[in-house]
Structure 1
Amino acid sequence: MASSQSLLLLLSLSTLLLLLVAAEAATAPGPTPPPPLNLTDILVKGGQYATFLRLLNETQYGAQLQSQLNTSYDGFTVFAPSDNAFQKLKQGTLNNLNSQQQVQLIQYQVLPKYYTFATFQTASNPVPTQASGSDGVYTVNVTGAPTGQQVNVSTGVMETRINNALYSAFPLSVYAADDVLLPYALFGAKPPAAAASPPPAASAEKPKKGDQSAAEGPSTKENSGSYKGRVMGWGFVVGMVAMVGIVL
């Protein structure tokens, strides 16, 4: 009898303990979800990307890219130029670009695919950028180092080495860039302007016979006749003077 009561008490305690555990699990908060991915926060944390952040904001491409991060299946790779990288540009480079060209320059710093240092080695060149389209050559060539943790990026105008990841977790990789990637379509050598064809030379028309005669003045024959007339006139005068002398 005592044994049965002890067993019943044990079962009751076990049941109560299970109920308490279940209630605690039901009321306990779940794991905190990770904060939403934010490119601006990554660049601000990097501490030296004020110019790039300003251009992302002014061109409104930053908001567009942030929205695409939530829906992209391939992810994105950003080569973030530092403030020093922009200072290395020739004076007036940004001001000489119109608003559309500034957007294209910023888009050119972004690849429409998530790359790690390892996957750069298997990338097929040329690699498109977010600026790629029908307006010109906006691709890059990437060459991953065999040892990893480094990639060389060439644009056809310049080349830079990337070896520092600010952030890398799908769907976004952000790499620190010591140079602004300059697309060939905007900064490449321009073909020389075609020389203007000289106007056709005016053909020298030979004057007509009548025109030539008029241009040359009285004919030789007319000149000769006038001369003879003058000679005869003077001869007549001289003759008359001589006859008068004889008569006198």
Structure 2
Amino acid sequence: MQMVSHTFLPILLLLPFLSAASADVAPGPTPPELNLTSILYKGGQYTTLLRLLQATRITEQLSSQLKNSYDGLTFFAPNDNAFAKLKVGTLNGLTDQQQVQLVLYHVLPRYYSVTTFQTASNPLRTEASGPGGVYSVNVTTSTTSQLVNVSTGVVAVPISNTLFAEFPLAVYSVDDVLQPEQLFGRKANNAAAPVPGQAGEAAGKATARKKGVPKSDVAAEPSASGQEAEDSTNAAARGRGCVEWGTVVAFALMAVVNLVGA
């Protein structure tokens, strides 16, 4: 019994120190929140986007991708002011499939930090696709600042705020809805301007078509020299007419003289 007491004595003396040491160990870091809906709710100005996500059920798809993807995801989140810039009825005018395409157009199938955007190669493919293939965006950065600009061919907008950026998910706020050309068409002021001098010609051809005149028959206004030539031709014709009448009268007089002499 005496030997047993000596064996456990050092352990009993160390127990207070072990308890104190364990109390000083800080808890492990909490895993980052990867729920897109929670991130947007916390942002406080994404009501329209949240309704659209709920209607299209895209959040379920994105959550599944985050759990099974090694590349992560990047999401551009239009705020309520961005949706307010759209024409009234724009969202309601889209079919269910087009609304899904619009939401997925705001998703890049890879995690991009602001620094990573600086080395990205355009165009960047999105999660949206259609009959023409995968929809894409162009992202440009500034060498003097961390400004990141996203262009779709219809709108161009900078990232205004970072809502969340921890691999595998990055969520960036934007002040415009990213509109793909495949759904909204190219912006009107991006159309090529007519070459100077062609506008008048085009107007003339359009007028001719309205009158039923073939394009090949559209002629320029007659020049002064052409008008003078026409006047000269008409005068010559009148002169020839006078000579012919004079000849007829002379023959008639000669006939009358011959009859009298006989």
TM-score between the two structures when normalised by the length of structure 2: 0.62
Report sequence identity in percent. Answer: 59
Specify whether residues 32 and 154 from structure 1 end up closer, same or farther in structure 2 by C-alpha distance, changes over 3 A only: closer
Q: Does 1:155 align with 2:152?
A: yes
Q: Does 1:164 align with 2:181?
A: no
Pick aligned residue for 2:75 from 78, 100, 114: 78
**Residue pairs, 1:1-248, within 5 angstroms:** 13-19=9-15, 25=22, 31=28, 33-34=30-31, 36-132=33-129, 134-136=131-133, 138-189=135-186
Specify whether residues 184 and 99 from structure 1 end up closer, same or farther in structure 2 by C-alpha distance, changes over 3 A only: same
Q: How many residues align?
A: 182
Check the 8 A contact 1:114/1:172 in 2, yes or no: yes
How far residue 133 of structure 1 moved from its aligned partner, in angstroms, is 5.4
Specify whether residues 154 and 37 from structure 1 end up closer, same or farther in structure 2 by C-alpha distance, changes over 3 A only: same
Give CA deviations for 1:215-238 in whole Å, capped at 9, x if unaligned.
Answer: xxxxxxxxxxxxxxxxxxxxxxxx
Secondary structure of the structure 2 residue equivalent to 1:174: strand
How far residue 92 of structure 1 moved from its aligned partner, in angstroms, is 1.3
How far residue 68 of structure 1 moved from its aligned partner, in angstroms, is 1.2
Kindly provide the amino acid, as one letter, of the partner of residue 177 in structure 2.
Answer: V
**Structure exhibiting the larger radius of gyration computed from Cα positions:** 1
Check the 8 A contact 2:125/2:134 in 1, yes or no: no
Specify whether residues 161 and 36 from structure 1 end up closer, same or farther in structure 2 by C-alpha distance, changes over 3 A only: closer
How far residue 14 of structure 1 moved from its aligned partner, in angstroms, is 3.7
Check the 8 A contact 1:84/1:178 in 2, yes or no: yes
Unaligned stretches of 5+ in structure 1? 1-7, 191-248
Check the 8 A contact 1:137/1:183 in 2, yes or no: no
Specify whether residues 157 and 29 from structure 1 end up closer, same or farther in structure 2 by C-alpha distance, changes over 3 A only: closer
Structure (1 or 2) with the greater helix fraction = 2
Distance, in Å, in 2 between the alignment partners of 1:124 and 1:17 is: 64
Check the 8 A contact 1:149/1:163 in 2, yes or no: no
Distance, in Å, in 1 between the alignment partners of 2:145 and 2:68 is: 29
Kindly provide the amino acid, as one letter, of the partner of residue 141 in structure 1.
Answer: N
Secondary structure of the structure 1 residue equivalent to 2:128: coil
